[in-house]
Amino acid sequence: MTAIDSDAFVFFGASGDLAYKKIFPALQAMIRRDGLDIPIIGVARSGWTIDQLRERARDSLEHNGGVDEAAFAKLSALLRYVDGDYNDATTYANLKIALKDSQRPLHYLAIPPSMFGPVAHGLAAANCTTNARVIVEKPFGRDLASAQALNRTLHEVFPESAIFRIDHYLGKEAVQNLLYFRFANSFLEPIWNRNHVASVQITMAENFGVQGRGAFYEEVGTIRDVVQNHLLQVLALLAMDAPVGQDAESMNAAKLQLFRAVRPLDPKDIVRGQFVGYRNEPGVAADSQVETFVALRLHVDTWRWAGVPFYIRAGKCLPVTASEVRVDLKPPPMDIFDRARAHEANYFRFRLSPEVVISTGARVKKPGGTMHGESIELVARHQLRREKSPYERLLSDALHGDEGLFTRDDCVEAAWRIVDPVLGDVDPVSFYEPGTWGPAAAAKIIVGNGGWHD
Ligand code: NDP
């Protein structure tokens, strides 16, 4: 069944940081690429006028990719503005007027999650939810219980099929390619299991700190910020069984099955770190125990993966900014050539950012009389030209009712169940110097398997 397109785009939080950095650039791109031509209504409590919203949009584009004058003129013409408090029924009455003839609006809640409930109910009371869709931003809850509560709140107003939970990582070209590569090639499937895979490492490194957002980070930490969502989604795409189709239901069913097989984290399988200097950031407590780094080991209890450790490492103030997956294969069974080095070479590497690369590590013979070899990589480099940004892709999908890249309620809850036991101060953080790969204690998470690949 083909979904029906939304006929108006409403974004709450029009004066906010996310709108500035991501939403205006995505809207301009959608106008330019796809000829988006529906009312675009910004809602905020800032007391702005429509002209101030247009100025904000221009400023946003100037700082985030550039202004395309023709597309911007179109955006300006499509823009409307509704001002008001999100707890005040008048705001929604005014929105209803601004929506005019719209029968199927898409509402984007680019606001703090504490406001999702009041806004959803305000929309319903003003009759703005019939046939509507809603996009909600991360973080989706702080733990399993709050995610369940948030789902209940949204379900009071919207059916699950109308709720689009954004994880912008799923909109990335490289992450989609991971899924494609796995299931479009027959050579992987025979080895993609415990018989041939020794271990898997997922790394997400940033070489910067909290960039003035210390107060925000104090409420979050690395597990909530990137592990529960982005990195567990990557793990699901890597480890799940083949979905029966590419529709959203099949994808989510395959992911859910995988998440349910991942053992909830045991405190002994995780090391939390904090970079030296974090406690001096504005908005950060002098005795903060919030992690800015995490190294952890997951166990996937399926026939395919039993006994294969999945390692995740993520953090701030690390030596580089890069995201990568490495799947290490078991070494050849016999020591004919230089076996001691075989574990270095037999692997698949998926570089997700900054560049998109898929490569296979292999050993080849060095020219000469002896049977000695060297490690090489067979590399497929993906040329990113003018692909859609994750936000352009995801907003466009939501407008078309395509749920494939959005996270379903049960999948979100299943992912929280994995990290729930280690949220909070299970153990004190270990400190690390900025520019290093986290605290020394992280080494104890990997025993054997060649250690962490930096
Ligand atoms: P902001 O703090 O910039 O606020 C967004 C909007 O929410 C603003 O319009 C703000 O209005 C309004 N707002 C803030 N607090 C309240 C409140 N108590 N009651 C009513 N309105 C309020 O947030 P962001 O734009 O950074 O983030 C929006 C959402 O997107 C959040 O859920 C965030 O977690 C998520 N997100 C943000 C990312 C980012 O890069 N910024 C990345 C990924 C997700 P006013 O300006 O009047 O205060």
Instruction: Say if residue 56 carries a ligand binding annotation.
Output: no
Please state the ipTM of this predicted complex. Answer: 0.95
What pLDDT sits at residue 1?
43
Mean pLDDT, the chain, integer: 93
- Out of 111, 134, 172, mutate this one to test ligand 1's pocket (max ligand atoms within 8 Å of CB): namely 111
Alpha helix segments (H runs only) across 35-84: 50-63, 69-78
Of ligand 1's atoms, which has the minimum distance to the CA of residue 86?
20
What pLDDT sits at residue 124?
96
Closest CA to 393 of 9, 30, 60: 30
What pLDDT sits at residue 2?
53
Average pLDDT over residues 84-109: 96
Please answer whether residues 309 and 197 qualify as being in contact, where contact means their C-beta atoms are separated by less than 8 angstroms: no
Q: Which two tokens stand for residue 110?
A: 């680019």
Instruction: List the single range of 81-95, 219-233, 379-393, 434-448 with lowest mean pLDDT.
Output: 379-393
Instruction: Say if residue 138 carries a ligand binding annotation.
Output: yes
pTM confidence score: 0.93
Ligand 1 center to 171 CA (angstroms)? 21
| Higher pLDDT, residue 263 or 212 | 263
What pLDDT sits at residue 190?
96
Quote the Cα angle for 252-255-256, to 5°.
85
Name the pairing type of β-strands 40-44 and 79-83: parallel
What pLDDT sits at residue 161?
95
Q: What is the pLDDT of residues 299-342, one digit of tens each?
A: 999 999 999 999 999 999 999 999 999 999 998 887 788 766 65
What pLDDT sits at residue 345?
76
Question: Of 230, 343, 372, 400, which is the active-site residue?
Answer: 230
Of ligand 1's atoms, which has the minimum distance to the CA of residue 14?
9
Ligand 1 center to 15 CA (angstroms)? 8
How far is residue 282 from each of residues 185, 212, 216, 217, 382, measured CA to CA in Å?
Answer: 49, 7, 10, 11, 40
Q: Which two tokens stand for residue 164?
A: 């689009």
**Residue 155 predicted with pLDDT over 60:** yes
| Residue entry with tokens 């009455």 | 93
Query: Given pLDDT bands bounded at 50, 70 and 90, which one contains residue 453?
Result: confident
* Type of residue found at 49: T
Query: Given pLDDT bands bounded at 50, 70 and 90, which one contains residue 280?
Result: very high
Which residues are near ligand 1 (CB < 6 Å)?
Answer: 13, 15-18, 21, 44-46, 86, 110-113, 115, 137-139
Ligand 1 center to 109 CA (angstroms)? 9
What pLDDT sits at residue 372?
85
C-alpha to C-alpha distance for 315 and 297, rounded to whole angstroms? 15
Q: Which two tokens stand for residue 350?
A: 């998926």
Average pLDDT over residues 112-141: 94
Instruction: Say if residue 21 carries a ligand binding annotation.
Output: no
Q: What is the pLDDT of residues 29-70, one digit of tens each?
A: 999 999 999 999 999 999 999 999 999 999 999 999 999 999
| 358 bridge partner residues | 350, 380
Q: Torsion angle of alpha carbons 280, 282, 285, 291, nearest 10°?
A: -80
Ligand 1 center to 44 CA (angstroms)? 10
How far is residue 324 from each of residues 205, 231, 247, 312, measured CA to CA in Å?
Answer: 9, 10, 26, 10
Closest CA to 178 of 248, 231, 225, 138: 231
Please answer whether residues 295 and 270 qualify as being in contact, where contact means their C-beta atoms are separated by less than 8 angstroms: yes
Ligand 1 center to 14 CA (angstroms)? 9
What pLDDT sits at residue 335?
73
C-alpha to C-alpha distance for 207 and 318, rounded to whole angstroms? 5
Buried b (16+ CB within 10 A) or exposed e, 281-303: beebeeebbbbbbbbbbbbbebe
Of ligand 1's atoms, which has the minimum distance to the CA of residue 114?
18
Task: Mark whether 453 is an active-site residue.
Answer: no
**Residue 129 predicted with pLDDT over 50:** yes
Please answer whether residues 381 and 357 qualify as being in contact, where contact means their C-beta atoms are separated by less than 8 angstroms: yes
Nearest CA owner, ligand 1 atom 16: 112
Q: What is the pLDDT of residues 428-451, one digit of tens each?
A: 999 999 999 999 999 999 977 678
Nearest CA owner, ligand 1 atom 32: 112
What pLDDT sits at residue 343?
62
| Higher pLDDT, residue 371 or 106 | 106
Instruction: Say if residue 206 carries a ligand binding annotation.
Output: yes
Nearest CA owner, ligand 1 atom 9: 13
| Higher pLDDT, residue 385 or 401 | 401
Q: Torsion angle of alpha carbons 68, 70, 73, 74, nearest 10°?
A: -110
Instruction: Say if residue 172 carries a ligand binding annotation.
Output: yes
Closest CA to 141 of 398, 404, 421, 415: 415
